[in-house]
Amino acid sequence: MSKDHIDVNYVANLARLNLTEEESTTFQRQIEDILGYINKLEELDIDDIEPTAHAAPVYDQIREDVTKPSLERDAFLAIAPDTINDQLKVPKVIEEL
């Protein structure tokens, strides 16, 4: 067994997955193909290549922060379906244990 071997059944057990024998065989073959491809990539000479996080440059899109008028509080509360103490009332979404 090589150091790059991953036992699909062991990983499936950790993830609490029940794999059929056919799925296990298929996934094992796929993982071994992926690891083989990674080993092939390790043969490349990358000494003169600078490490990067992205293949192409990434620039942040900066826009000006502009304030815009919003609804007045009284106008908003007037169209709200339910209010209490001049606040919007919403249904409880957290259940107590």
Distance of CA 5 to the CA centre of its chain: 26
**Residue 28 forms part of a structural domain:** yes
**Residue 79 forms part of a structural domain:** no
**Residue 46 forms part of a structural domain:** no
**Residue 12 forms part of a structural domain:** yes
The answer to whether the beta carbons of residues 30 and 24 sit under 8 Å apart is: no
Distance of CA 11 to the CA centre of its chain: 20
**Residue 15 forms part of a structural domain:** yes
**Residue 29 forms part of a structural domain:** yes
Total tally of structural domains belonging to the chain: 1
**Could you give the dihedral angle defined by the CA atoms of residues 42, 45, 49 and 50, in that order, rounded to the nearest 10 degrees?**
40
**Residue 24 forms part of a structural domain:** yes
Per-residue pLDDT reduced to its tens digit, 10-20: 999 999 999 99
Backbone angles phi, psi at 40, to 5 degrees: -65, -40
**Structural domain boundaries enclosing 13:** 8-41
Residues of the chain with pLDDT under 50: 1
Q: Round to whole Å and give the CA distance between 8 and 22.
A: 12
pLDDT of residue 1: 43
